[in-house]
């Protein structure tokens, strides 16, 4: 297909993990309480994300695959205060441009489900089908029409590990949603979806990690930090267990990382790096999430304020006598 479309698609879809991230975000935005992610051969073979969310109205399905079609931003100004995870209206169009996509969906109002098929951005068919309310999206043969992209993929195991990481991070961010992750037919984890952050941590991370956590609950005006950090004595040799979220959205951010680690300065520690599962709550206008299509980067209106908040939240926790 058209080069421009493929380049645009490449911005959003880099590897199977980016597909999974977008699909899970759509499931969350659709109000799902249960999401199943199943991949075959690291997601290169196939990716299936199934949810019990709102579903998509049959008449709207083909529109949902059009670039910049989104049901989530009504007006330009809404960009300034993005609450939902998806907001660019690029994911479905991008994925469909570089793979074969089956969408099976039904809303509460519809009697039948609709099975809609696309490949390389071309509509193949739409027919009536059966399904409970919700959506299942199956993505096959990723990059089948973009051999250059295909070459950049790593071994299936590595791609599968990236996918696992994406599902895990979402499962930690949303303890109120039951996440099931299946890899080559085998269940890797299944969170209960009972709303308890600790039960999600137990389900997806190691027991050893979970039992050495201290609870963080900190407020400073309209800003807040909630979650868990490693007790100083149980810190480890890598940063792989640091999970940060802002208003429930997973982020990678140096300021948050630095503030976390600085808060442990002078403590009796075994390893150098604390682990954490921490969610920062802040007014939407104080953080810009619209930096990059991959959307794990953020820009704060006031970085110093965020450092200070995170530092104090963690410091007050690890200074407790039970640390
Ligand atoms: P965005 O999420 O930025 O709106 P997407 O391309 O990811 O753009 O999705 C396009 C539209 O398709 C969404 O706005 C939504 O209306 C619909 N959609 C996609 N996935 C789902 C889903 N799992 N459940 C319900 N609606 C969905
Ligand atoms: Mg989306």
Per-residue pLDDT of 46-93, as tens digits, reads 999 999 999 999 999 999 998 776 666 555 555 555 555 555 678 899
Question: Distance between alpha carbon 17 and the CA centroid of its chain, in Å?
Answer: 10
Q: The domain spanning residue 173 has which CATH number?
A: 3.30.565.10
Query: Do 241 and 179 belong to one domain?
Result: no
Residues of the chain with pLDDT under 50: none
323 within some domain: no
- Whether residues 230 and 287 share a domain: the answer is yes
| DSSP state, residue 115 | E
Residues 131 and 231 in one domain: no
**Of 202, 212, 204, 219, which Cα lies nearest the Cα of 274?**
212
> What is the length of the chain?
323
Q: Is 32 in the pocket of ligand 1 (CB under 6 A)?
A: no
Tell whether 55 is covered by a domain.
Answer: yes
Does residue 33 sit within a domain? yes
Q: For 234, how many CA atoms within 13 A lie in the half-sphere containing its CB? A: 18
Give residue 77's pLDDT: 54
244 lies in the same domain as 296: yes
Same domain, 176 and 70: yes
Residues with CB under 5 A from ligand 2 (ion): 26, 86, 91
Are 248 and 279 contacting, i.e. CB atoms less than 8 angstroms apart?
yes
Instruction: Determine the pLDDT at residue 287.
Output: 87
Let me know if residue 255 belongs to a domain. yes
Q: What's the confidence (pLDDT) of residue 321?
A: 84
Identify the pLDDT of residue 250. 87
Cα–Cα distances (Å) from 176 to 152, 194, 199, 210, 251, in that order, read 36, 5, 10, 18, 19
The answer to whether 98 touches 104, Cβ cutoff 8 Å, is: no
Give 317 Cα–ligand 1 centroid separation in angstroms: 39
Phi-psi region of 80 (alpha: psi -120 to 50; beta: other; left: phi over 0): alpha
- Ligand 1 lined by 27 (C-beta under 6 Å): yes
Q: State the CATH number of the domain containing residue 255.
A: 3.30.230.10
Q: Which of these three, 137, 162, 190, is where a domain ends? A: 190
The domain containing residue 111 runs over which residues?
3-190
The closest residue, in CA terms, to atom 1 on ligand 1 is 89
* pLDDT attached to residue 285: 85
Q: Are residues 108 and 211 in the same domain?
A: no
Check whether residue 137 and residue 267 sit in a common domain: no
| 281 within 8 A of 223, measured Cβ to Cβ | yes
| Count of CA atoms in the C-beta half-sphere (13 A) of 59 | 2
* Number of structural domains in the chain: 2
Residues 6+ apart with CB under 8 A from 104: 113, 114, 115, 116, 129, 131, 135, 136, 137, 138
Per the domain annotation, does 267 fall within a domain?
yes
Please state at what angle helix 156-173 crosses helix 16-29, rounded to 10 degrees: 20
Same domain, 171 and 210: no
Q: Are residues 168 and 230 in the same domain?
A: no
258 and 149 part of one domain: no
Please indicate, yes or no, if residue 197 is contained in any of the structural domains.
no
Whether residues 96 and 215 fall in one domain: no
Say if CB 200 and CB 56 are below 8 A apart. Answer: no
Which of residues 190, 214, 238 is at a domain's end? 190
Q: Do 19 and 164 sit in the same domain of this protein?
A: yes
The answer as to whether 199 is a domain residue is no
Q: Is residue 242 part of a domain?
A: yes
Task: For a ligand 1 pocket test, name from 11, 59, 78, 86 the mutation site with the most ligand atoms within 8 angstroms of its C-beta.
Answer: 86
What spacing in Å lies between the alpha carbon of 87 and ligand 1's midpoint?
9
């Amino acid at each position: 297909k058209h080069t421009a479309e493929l380049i645009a698609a490449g911005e959003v879809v880099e590897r199977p993990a980016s597909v999974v991230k977008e699909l899970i975000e759509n499931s969350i935005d659709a109000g799902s309480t249960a999401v199943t992610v199943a991949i075959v051969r690291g997601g290169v073979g196939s990716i299936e994300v199934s949810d019990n969310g709102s579903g998509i109205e049959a008449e709207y399905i083909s529109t949902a695959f059009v670039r910049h079609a989104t049901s989530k931003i009504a007006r330009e100004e809404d960009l300034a205060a993005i609450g939902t995870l998806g907001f660019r209206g690029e994911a479905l169009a991008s994925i469909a441009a570089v793979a074969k996509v089956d969408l099976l969906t039904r809303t509460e109002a519809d009697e039948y489900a609709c099975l809609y098929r696309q490949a390389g951005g071309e509509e193949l068919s739409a027919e009536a089908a059966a399904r409970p309310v919700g959506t299942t999206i199956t993505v096959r043969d990723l990059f089948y029409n973009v051999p250059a992209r295909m070459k950049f993929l790593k071994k299936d195991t590595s791609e599968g590990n990236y996918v696992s990481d994406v599902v895990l991070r979402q499962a930690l961010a949303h303890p109120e949603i039951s996440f099931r992750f299946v890899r080559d037919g085998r269940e890797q984890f299944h969170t209960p979806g009972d709303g308890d952050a600790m039960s999600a941590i137990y389900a997806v991370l190691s027991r050893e990690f979970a039992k050495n956590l201290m609870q963080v609950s900190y407020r400073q005006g309209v800003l807040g930090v909630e979650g868990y950090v490693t007790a100083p004595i149980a810190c480890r040799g890598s940063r792989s267990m640091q999970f940060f979220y802002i208003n429930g959205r997973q982020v990678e951010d140096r300021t948050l990382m630095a503030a976390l680690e600085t808060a442990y300065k002078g403590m009796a520690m075994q390893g150098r790096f604390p682990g954490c599962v921490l969610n920062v709550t802040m007014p939407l206008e104080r953080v810009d999430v619209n930096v990059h299509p991959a959307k794990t980067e953020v820009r704060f209106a006031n970085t110093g304020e965020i450092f200070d908040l995170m530092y104090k939240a963690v410091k007050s926790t690890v200074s407790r006598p039970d640390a």
